Amino acid sequence: MPPIMITGADLAGAGPGDLLIMDGQFADPALAPADVQRFDAAGLVALPGLVDLHTHLREPGREDAETVESGTAAAARGGFTAVLAMANTDPVTDTAEAAAHVAALGRRAGHTQVIPVGAVTKGLAGTELAELGLMARSAAGVRVFSDDGHCVGDARLMRRALEYVRAFGGVIAQHAQDPRLAGPDACCHEGEISGRLGLAGWPPAAESTIVARDVELAELTRSRVHVCHVSTAETVEVLRWAKRRGIAVTAEVTPHHLLLTTDLVTGYDPTFKVNPPLRPAEHVTVLREALADGTIDAVATDHAPHARHDKEHAFPDAAFGMVGLETALGVVLETMLDALGWAGVADRLSVAPARIAGLNGQGRALTPGEPANLVLVDPSARRVVDATDSASLSRNNPWHGLDLPDPVVATYWNGNQTYRR
């Protein structure tokens, strides 16, 4: 791609400046050649390319819902330059060969960096460790492992996993759901609404008790644990306690848990069926406060596309999950910009996720010599979300019909423009 000079953008809230992209990196603007392409970015904000710790790309196995091609196109449209692809594919990403295949699909698509997440246990069955070391040593270089969609419920097995990944700086990302407190039928926050609607309840304790156990195990093993999709105030209190003790725990929150509440379930619309479930407003308030003060480290989409035939069922029988790659930044700006500022948005959506995942080329400063991973944002743009206007193959979009920020103007990954409005 020819050199590009981006002029006048607000550099992550630090004030206006120019960015020169040459040979996949940021360069000194004073070195711009005479034939450089110019992009007038006055009024826009430049952020480091976003990094999603938690994306379901569905390939291989469920290409009717999403492919690596379509999912990463949606990611680029949402400002992402890297996504971590969760392991619950078919076959499961539980071997070095499976991880290498997912990484190769990402390179072929060319919209974002795709980093495979390896399964913790073989087949996500929760009984035997997967090939953690082989996946780590493979060309894919897996460093994050998760049975997402399933909790690693066996404490002894979780301890062994934490001990194993410590040797190569890996991290176990836990789907915290005690299966005895919230089984496979649990689909609604346990409370007045679940009782009135006759839906199986998912109590906050099912999340917080697993997190409490796992941070103790992380301390015991001197290893790292990451908590997926935190949804409850009780979990936030456990995280605060663990971080005060210096335990190596990080955590993410989804955009939908920052804005949507459990009352949306009252219409039995399966679009709003998600795991963990939407929570009452008092939990949402605590999650926002925790993201603002750093108790929760990052925002992750948990982008979970589904074909219509998996979602269009009675609420208890529908698949769990929502799409979210294209709307994540808009939701964060709607809910958190005043609390975080632009530097905080960059940290929670780019810098911290890249650090957690060990991605040296992502979440970097917008300075000469760094990889040119960048999203240009229009802070004033808004739109009414239309679920049919999406690069994703799936339409299970909880934001349909809502007026939200529509900020992404352009995305660059390693200097290549992967999206332009």
Task: Supply the residues annotated as catalytic.
Answer: 302
Q: Can you read off the two tokens belonging to residue 321?
A: 């999950």
- Buried b or exposed e, range 239-257, using 16+ CB within 10 angstroms: beebbeeebbbbbbbbbbb
Residues listed for the chain: 421
Task: Decide: helix, strand or coil at residue 209.
Answer: helix
Calpha distance 412→25 (Å, rounded): 10
Q: Establish whether the linkage from the previous residue to 276 is cis, with ω within 30° of 0.
A: yes
The single-letter DSSP state of residue 118 is B
Q: Can you read off the two tokens belonging to residue 247?
A: 């335990």
Phi first, then psi, for residue 312 (nearest 5°) are: -85, 70
Cα radius of gyration rounded to whole Å, the chain? 20
Angle (nearest 5°) at CA 89 between 81 and 199? 100
Q: Can you read off the two tokens belonging to residue 151?
A: 């909790």
